[in-house]
Amino acid sequence: MGKLIDDSLELEDSKIRTLIIQLKRSFVIAKKDLKIYYNKPPVIIQGILFPIILFIALTIGRNVVPIYVISGLMAMITFLTSTSIGPIVFPWETMRRTFERLITCPISIKTILLGSVWSTFIYGIIFSSLPLIFGMIFLSTELSINLIIVIVGMVVAGLAFACFSLILSVPSTDTPGNTMVFTILIKFPLIFISPLFMPITLSPISYISPMTYFVDIVNVGLGDISVFGSLGLLLDIGVLVGFGLGFLLLAFILHAKTLEKRFRD
């Protein structure tokens, strides 16, 4: 009996060690992805140029309240940058024939996917901080900024959007351009149904978009009241965590099914 307990504890300890090792390897993959893909044309176009163009298009000629300028811009930049690297890693690796070498390393497909999550999350957080800094410098007298709330929202939303980006890389193509077309068809409808630069209550359909809940968090962090009541912040964070876990689980399942097809193609 004692031997069975010892074997069980040893097995559990082995699983924990394996999990920690795989997690460390996922950060190594994230470092590799950031070095290779941060300056690739698809990443620059979707992560930097699109937010600038959309911001100008959606705000020019409109008298937008400062709080909605900051929250809308942060939501748009976080979403677009946090979903910019993930969709191109797999097709780019497949095209360069480096994916086969990566998958033969002592790492699982889940570790590779987590590496993509970390890299695109870090990339998104860096750029989404810019409008917050802008607001703190130029609009500090008009806004009551609670940095803790805003930063928590950025982290939770960035991870949720990064997990969402894994689903966009599921198609087993070796052409990054094909993935760009697919991501645009998915991401832009989400942007346009989200309450960017306007009160959330003016767009009831926006409740199906995860961006809505991030906008609400940022609005509260900038001194507004949550549209979901006194427990709005908890609801926002809970919904974003739910979205993120759901996206990650779905990505694990879909990528496991398309993995062999990448090699056949």
Give the pLDDT confidence score for residue 142 in this predicted structure: 66
Percent of the chain with pLDDT over 90: 19
For the cut 60, the answer to whether the pLDDT of residue 1 exceeds it is: no
Structure tokens belonging to residue 181: 């077309």
Q: What are the helix (H) ranges across 139-208?
A: 147-168, 176-193
Which amino acid appears at position 71 of this protein?
S
Catalogue the long-range contacts made by 204-213 (C-beta closer than 8 Å, 24 or more residues apart): 210/157, 210/160, 210/161, 210/164, 210/239, 210/240, 210/243, 211/75, 211/76, 211/79, 211/157, 213/157, 213/237, 213/239, 213/240
For the cut 90, the answer to whether the pLDDT of residue 249 exceeds it is: yes
Give the pLDDT confidence score for residue 241 in this predicted structure: 96
Give the pLDDT confidence score for residue 262 in this predicted structure: 65
Span 220-239, pLDDT tens digits: 988 888 999 888 899 999 99
For the cut 70, the answer to whether the pLDDT of residue 2 exceeds it is: no
- Under 8 Å between Cβ of 215 and 195: yes
- Under 8 Å between Cβ of 113 and 159: no
The residue-averaged pLDDT of 117-137 equals 84
Give the pLDDT confidence score for residue 31 in this predicted structure: 87
Give the pLDDT confidence score for residue 68 in this predicted structure: 85
Note the pTM of the prediction, 2 decimals: 0.86
175: CB partners within 8 A, 6+ apart:
91, 95
For the cut 70, the answer to whether the pLDDT of residue 264 exceeds it is: no
Structure tokens belonging to residue 164: 């969402």
Give the pLDDT confidence score for residue 245 in this predicted structure: 95
Structure tokens belonging to residue 30: 């994230």
The more confidently predicted of residues 21 and 38 is 21
The residue-averaged pLDDT of 237-244 equals 95
The more confidently predicted of residues 239 and 94 is 239
For the cut 90, the answer to whether the pLDDT of residue 244 exceeds it is: yes
Spatial distance between the Cα atoms of 164 and 82, rounded to a whole number of angstroms = 9
For the cut 60, the answer to whether the pLDDT of residue 71 exceeds it is: yes
Structure tokens belonging to residue 149: 């709330």
Mean confidence (pLDDT) of the chain = 82
The residue-averaged pLDDT of 194-222 equals 88
For the cut 90, the answer to whether the pLDDT of residue 243 exceeds it is: yes
Catalogue the long-range contacts made by 44-51 (C-beta closer than 8 Å, 24 or more residues apart): 45/180, 46/80, 46/83, 46/84, 46/180, 46/183, 46/184, 46/187, 47/80, 47/81, 47/84, 47/85, 47/123, 47/124, 47/127, 48/81, 48/127, 50/80, 51/76, 51/77, 51/80, 51/81
